[in-house]
C-alpha cells in the first residue's frame, strides 16, 4: 500500500508510538466522513474502478500498449480510491488495481472499443461532477480527472507506443490555499502570451502557401481571443493584468517547420496545467469549458512526448 509522504510519516510515527501495533488510518473509516457527497461521487468511483480493471486486463492484448495500460490502470485505481475515501483531501492510500470480473475483449480492436466506452462513461461522470461543484478543491478534483480522461480518450482512439505513460508526480488533492481564479488566470495568461509570441514570430518565417501557416494563423486568432477572456476575468476580479514580455524562451526555437511545430506543441502542453487549475477555481459550466480546453491541449502534448501526472492542476 502506498501513502503520500505526509501520510507515510504520520502513519510511521503512530506505529512507533504504539509499540509497532498497527493504528487504523482515520481517513479510511466511514465514521469520519466529514461531509455527505452527491451520488455522482459513487458513480464516478465505480467508473474509474471499471476503467482501471479493464486497462489491467487488456494490457497484453493491445500491441505495444502494455506500459501505457498498466500505468493508466494504476492512475484510475488511485482516482477511484480518492473518490471513495471519506476524506479525499487528507491524502490518499493507493492499493492494488481492483478486479471487476470483466471479460477480456478478444483482440486489440475489441479491447480499444471497450476502453473507449469506459473512458466515455467515466468522462460523463466527471463532467457531471464538475458542472455541479462549487469553485475550489472539489471542482479542481473533477477538473483534474477530466483532463486525464481526455488523454485516455486520445490514446484509445490512436494507441501509440510513443506516448509517455502517466507518472505519480508529487501533488495530490489536499487541503490548502489554492489561490483565486484570478491567480490561475494570470498564470494561464502568461502561458497564452508565450504561445502568442511563438505563433506570431513563426508566421514571419513560414511560407504563406503552406498548411503550417494556415494552422498557425488559426491558432493565433484563437489564442488572442483566449487572452482577452483571461484579461477580462482578471480585471473583473480586481486583479492587475500584467503586460506580455518582449520575448519568451522558445524550447525548440523556430528554425524549421519541425522546430516550430515542436515548440508550439510544448507551449500548448505547458498551458494545459494552469488552465486545469483555473477550471477548478471556476467550477460549474465555465469550469467545464476550461477543463475541456485543458484536456485537449494536454492530450496533444502527450502525443508528442510530454508526460503527465496523476493529478494535473494540483501542486
Task: Measure the CA–CA gap between 131 and 140, rounded to whole angstroms.
Answer: 11
Q: What is the pLDDT of residue 228?
A: 93
Model pTM?
Answer: 0.82
- Domain 181-303, classified CATH 1.50.10.20, yes or no: no
Q: How many CA atoms lie within 13 A of 41 on its CB side?
A: 16
Taking only the tens of pLDDT, the chain with its 315 residues reads 333 333 322 332 232 333 333 344 444 444 455 567 889 999 999 999 999 999 999 998 999 999 999 999 999 999 999 998 888 887 766 666 666 666 677 788 999 999 999 999 999 999 999 999 989 999 999 999 999 999 999 999 988 767 899 999 888 898 888 888 888 999 999 999 999 999 999 999 888 888 999 999 999 999 999 999 999 989 988 889 999 999 999 989 999 999 998 899 889 888 999 999 999 999 999 999 999 999 998 998 898 788 899 999 998
What whole-number distance in Å separates Cα of residue 291 and Cα of residue 276? 6
> Tell me, what's the pLDDT at 144?
97
Eight-state DSSP code of residue 93: E
Q: Mind giving me the DSSP string for 153-208?
A: HHHHHS--TTSPPPB--S---BSS----HHHHHHHHHHHHHHHHHHHHHHHTTS-T
Amino acid at each position: 500500500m502506498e501513502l503520500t509522504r505526509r501520510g507515510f510519516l504520520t502513519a510511521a510515527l503512530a506505529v512507533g508510538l504504539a509499540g509497532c501495533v498497527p493504528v487504523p488510518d482515520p481517513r479510511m473509516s466511514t465514521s469520519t466522513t466529514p461531509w455527505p457527497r452527491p451520488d455522482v461521487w459513487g458513480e464516478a468511483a465505480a467508473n474509474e474502478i471499471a476503467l482501471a480493471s479493464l486497462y489491467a486486463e487488456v494490457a497484453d492484448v493491445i500491441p505495444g500498449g502494455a506500459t501505457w495500460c498498466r500505468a493508466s490502470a494504476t492512475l484510475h485505481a488511485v482516482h477511484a480510491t480518492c473518490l471513495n475515501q471519506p476524506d479525499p483531501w487528507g491524502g490518499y492510500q493507493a492499493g492494488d488495481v481492483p478486479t471487476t470480473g470483466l471479460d477480456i475483449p478478444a483482440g486489440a480492436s475489441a479491447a480499444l472499443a471497450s476502453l473507449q466506452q469506459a473512458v466515455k462513461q467515466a468522462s460523463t461522470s466527471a463532467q457531471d461532477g464538475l458542472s455541479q461543484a462549487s469553485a475550489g478543491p472539489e471542482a479542481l478534483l473533477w477538473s483534474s480527472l477530466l483532463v486525464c480522461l481526455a488523454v485516455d480518450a486520445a490514446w484509445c482512439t490512436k494507441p501509440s507506443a510513443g506516448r509517455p505513460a502517466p507518472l505519480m508526480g508529487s501533488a495530490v488533492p489536499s487541503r490548502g490555499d489554492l489561490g483565486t481564479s484570478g491567480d490561475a488566470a494570470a498564470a494561464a495568461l502568461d502561458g497564452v502570451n508565450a504561445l502568442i509570441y511563438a505563433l506570431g514570430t513563426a508566421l514571419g518565417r513560414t511560407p504563406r502557401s503552406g498548411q503550417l501557416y494556415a494552422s498557425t494563423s488559426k491558432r493565433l486568432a484563437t489564442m488572442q481571443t483566449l487572452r482577452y477572456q483571461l484579461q477580462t476575468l482578471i480585471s473583473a476580479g480586481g486583479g492587475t493584468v500584467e503586460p506580455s514580455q518582449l520575448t519568451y524562451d522558445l524550447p525548440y526555437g523556430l528554425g524549421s517547420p519541425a522546430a516550430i511545430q515542436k515548440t508550439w506543441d510544448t507551449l500548448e502542453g505547458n498551458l494545459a496545467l494552469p488552465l486545469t487549475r483555473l477550471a477548478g477555481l471556476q467550477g460549474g459550466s465555465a469550469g467545464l469549458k476550461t477543463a475541456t480546453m485543458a484536456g485537449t491541449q494536454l492530450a496533444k502534448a502527450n502525443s508528442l512526448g510530454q508526460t503527465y501526472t496523476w493529478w494535473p492542476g494540483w501542486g
